[in-house]
A and B are shown apart, each in its own frame.
Chain A
Amino acid sequence: MAETPKWYDAHLSEFGNTAYIRGLDQYSSMHRRSIDDPDGFWAEQARQYLSWDKEWDFVLDYDFEEGRIAWFGGGILNASANCLDRHLDRLGDKVAYFWEGDDPHDTRTVTFKDLYHQVNRFAAVLQKIGVRKSDRVIIYMPMIPELPVAMLSCARIGAVHSVVFGGFSAEALANRVKNCDAGVVITTDGGFRAGKKIPLKETVDQALKSCPDVGKVIVFDRAGLEPSMKPGRDIWWHEAVEDPDLPDRVDPEPMDAEDPLFILYTSGSTGAPKGLVHTHGGYLLYAAMTTRLVFDLKDDEVFWCTADIGWVTGHTYGVYGPLINGLTGVLFEGVPTYPDFDRYWDIVEKYRVNKFYTAPTVIRSLAKEGAGHVEKHDITSLKLLGSVGEPINPEAWRWYYRHVGRQWCPIMDTWWQTETGGHMLTPLPGVTPIKPGSCGLPFFGVDPVILDETGEEVRFPNQEGVLCIKRPWPGMARSVYGDHERFIETYFSQAPGMYFSGDGAKRDEDGYYWIIGRIDDVINVSGHRLGTAEIESALVLHDRVAEAAVVGFPHPVKGQGIYAFVTLNTGEAKSEDLKRELVGLVRKEIGPIATIDVVQWADALPKTRSGKIMRRILQKIAAGKTDELGDTSTIADPTVVEKLIAERVGV
């Protein structure tokens, strides 16, 4: 039996000759330059990828101790103009989006000119209702063209958008609205998902019961649900844009490179999700450059990033990156499994998608159903694949390479975070062979280091540690909205002078990076970050619950599942109904992505004398590794552990 290859290079014969970045030498010298001469290097890139009304006063100014980062300060530009206006002459009739609805017969083609007109119109609507530069606007919409229209309209007038993934609950939505003091919400009556109608406006109404400061809600009619409309607050999108007094064009607001462009909430180790702030200049440059170079996108190619725009992947590789480059993208409203498990391949065939970027959880769930679904379609247009959201296990990688990639398409397994704005560690298709499960090499401007638990740089290949970045890159977040202290504490207090990513990693003997997983109390469920503290806080809201500890455990499709150890108040009865209630409570507080997989009743949690919870014991129990508990002498009452093991819920 042939040995399974550890690396693959079939793509190099072509990409090595046609890619923008070709060969290790070109990569290395360019990377070297980006680190040694950031001012010179990034000034060049900024001129190449973006259009500026006025050039910057300085390229980079920063101090990690203060969490202060500024790129292209004094430079003036606008995101909307970079995505649309500057393409009109040459690319007005070019397709910006092939939109495919949940139903395969529901499709639309949106050109750059279409998008330009719609964005201008909607920007005028926003202005008319009083939205001004730096105002925050919440967007809670399904994957329809009006979603990027809403984002770009906000950007056009200098308002700061915060897109909330449609799968978040009313509570989660309300928390975000309040946290960023949004005055306007843009939504739809509902959406379609796997043939069902999802009533989004109802969720918005529920959320806004606790948000009296929201003065306007703009509702796009997607599903014909006829939601209740609150007089004075709610207006229909289609009525608003038909206002004859509206101008056809709104001049793009001149924005400083460091003015905020958007806020995106992401989970952390403690407390509520944080609103990471990204700014106009650096983020747009990084989005544009990584889109072009990592996917090696040529002007006539079709690119499909399957991520929902509510996540950063959708922001950078579904909206800003492709549009700035004048590229054609696919926008899909539905799910990979409806009407059948071949839906994605049907779309690839329909639009002749050339470059495809998706999450390991999708690959795993489709692989389970068999390659027959892929084989039903002609996917020979595909030249390159991508993976994002969590490390991809080698089995899933190989399935993807073999059945979707036809043993040829290179897989760009990209590591990055909401905080980083764009790709940080990634293969490049014209540069090196690829290894299943490895995220390749640092992108330009990225200077990574792996630190061990004492804070020292690891000394040997394959030695594990936490991934830190030694200097700023243009795409990095600039703050946590309303809590800069938290920004500094979370990212800049552990490794002085560096960005602390919170992800564990190692570097092999060839210099390839491998991501291991979070080193803190953040879990990754289907590629989505969730803080265990958030889930615990939700559980403890129940009046019968005294305490809860939540850990992740290995899950064959989701990557990690959610395992909750729950201590009830004395005398409370344990029941399966109560377990279901608790699962429902968390879904209500956060959303369906936080559906707990296992609830185990725990009369007590394993704690030290001082009350500190020994999470590693719980992680081992949840993972079924009860014979690998290690030292348990620190636990005040060892019988607690015995009981937890005995009562472990089989998964």
Chain B
Amino acid sequence: MASLVKSSGSFLVRPYESRDFQALRDMYLSFSPRGMFQGMPPPDDDACLRWIQGLLETGENFLAWREGSVVGHGVILPDLDKKDAEYLVFVSRGERGKGVGTALTRAVLDHAAGLGLESVWLTVGAYNMRAARLYRKFSFRFLEEPGAGSERTMVLTL
């Protein structure tokens, strides 16, 4: 199996392992702004931890590390009946714009292809142009017409 450890600049992307929980938790508890992305990450700490646990249990998770800290988290939540998966990615405030999101997305999508899925989709704030730019780089396309509301769906056919 090809190595899933990808290194870019001075950060490292690899699949989540259970010993990583504390570091992942630390990233989210100090994450800012909370609740910005369709209510995620949940502003309440307890709800946030429950949410992280849910993602770890049901999804395929990847973490980006810099100097021993988790600076990004990418996850797909597959539905094997529908043969699709929801994708979401979060990058720490000070680490945005440095290629972390790109590296995580690449790692996650490579993995998705290996799971026999037909498509990956995500939702993004209607005018979160920075995020949409990242997703379009990976050929995600908007599903609906503009003006549909607060958030839009993007789909990538694998």
Contacts and interface: CB of A to CB of B under 8 A. Distances in A.
Contacts of A271: 33-35
B151 A615 contact: yes
Interface string B37-48: 111101110000
B127 A453 contact: yes
A380 interface: no
Interface stretch (B3-11, B62-70, B107-115, B129-137): B129-137
A519 B133 CA distance: 18
Contacts of A495: 129
A624 to B, nearest CB: 14
A126 B88 CA distance: 53
A464 B147 contact: yes
A269 B129 contact: no
A482 to B, nearest CB: 13
Contact of B129 (A486, A494, A502): A494
B86 interface: yes
B152 interface: yes
B128 interface: yes
A451 interface: yes
Contacts of A504: 127
A540 B36 contact: no
Interface in B116-141: 121, 123, 125-130, 132-133, 136
A540 B45 CA distance: 13
B99 to A, nearest CB: 15
Contacts of A489: 33, 93
B39 A613 contact: yes
A614 B88 contact: no
Interface string A266-284: 0001110000000000000
Contacts of B153: 631, 634
B16 interface: no
Which residue, B44, B132, B149, has most C-beta atoms of chain A within 10 A? Answer: B149
Interface in A586-638: 608-617, 619-620, 630-631, 634
A288 interface: no
- Give the size range of B's interface with the partner: 35 or more
Contacts of A494: 127-130
B148 interface: yes
Contacts of A462: none
A612 B39 contact: yes
A609 B77 contact: yes
B128 A614 contact: no
Given A270-B34, A453-B132, A634 B148 contact: no
B77 A540 contact: no
A615 B150 contact: yes
Given A489-B93, A616-B149, A616-B151, A611 B51 contact: yes
A537 interface: yes
Given A615-B149, A616-B151, A520 B127 contact: yes
B54 A612 contact: no
A134 interface: no
Given A610-B40, A612-B88, A454 B126 contact: no
A549 B86 contact: no
B158 to A, nearest CB: 17
A467 to B, nearest CB: 10
B129 A270 contact: no
Contacts of B34: 270-271
A614 B122 CA distance: 12
B28 to A, nearest CB: 13
A617 B93 CA distance: 29
A454 B150 contact: no
B96 interface: yes
B142 A613 contact: no
B55 interface: yes
Nearest to B128: A494
A466 B130 CA distance: 13
A270 B33 contact: yes
A402 B123 CA distance: 46
A533 interface: yes
B90 to A, nearest CB: 11
B35 A533 contact: yes
Nearest to A546: B47
A114 interface: no
Contacts of B149: 615-617, 619-620, 630
B43 A537 contact: yes
A619 B150 contact: yes
Contacts of B36: 269-270
B129 A451 contact: yes
A519 B79 CA distance: 31
B144 A455 contact: no
A497 to B, nearest CB: 13
A37 interface: no
B80 interface: no
Nearest to B77: A609
A504 B127 CA distance: 9
Interface in A476-495: 485-486, 489, 493-495
Interface string A355-366: 000000000000
A519 B125 CA distance: 9
A614 B77 contact: no
Interface in A32-78: none
A135 interface: no
Contact of B152 (A453, A455, A537, A609): A453
A521 interface: yes
Contacts of B54: 611
A634 B129 CA distance: 21
Given A454-B133, A609-B79, A634-B153, A270 B126 contact: no
Contact of A454 (B40, B43, B93, B129): B129
A452 interface: yes
A124 to B, nearest CB: 43
Given A271-B34, A612-B123, A634-B123, 4 more contacts: A271-B35, A610-B88, A612-B40, A612-B151
- 4 tightest A-B contacts by CB? A616-B149, A612-B38, A455-B129, A615-B150
30 contacts: A269-B36, A270-B33, A270-B35, A451-B129, A452-B146, A453-B152, A454-B129, A454-B132, A455-B133, A486-B32, A493-B130, A495-B129, A520-B127, A537-B43, A549-B39, A608-B38, A608-B86, A609-B58, A610-B75, A611-B39, A611-B51, A612-B38, A612-B39, A612-B123, A614-B123, A619-B150, A620-B149, A630-B149, A631-B143, A634-B86
Interface of B: 32-40, 42-44, 51, 54-55, 58-59, 75, 77, 79, 86, 88, 93, 96, 121, 123, 125-130, 132-133, 136, 142-144, 146-153
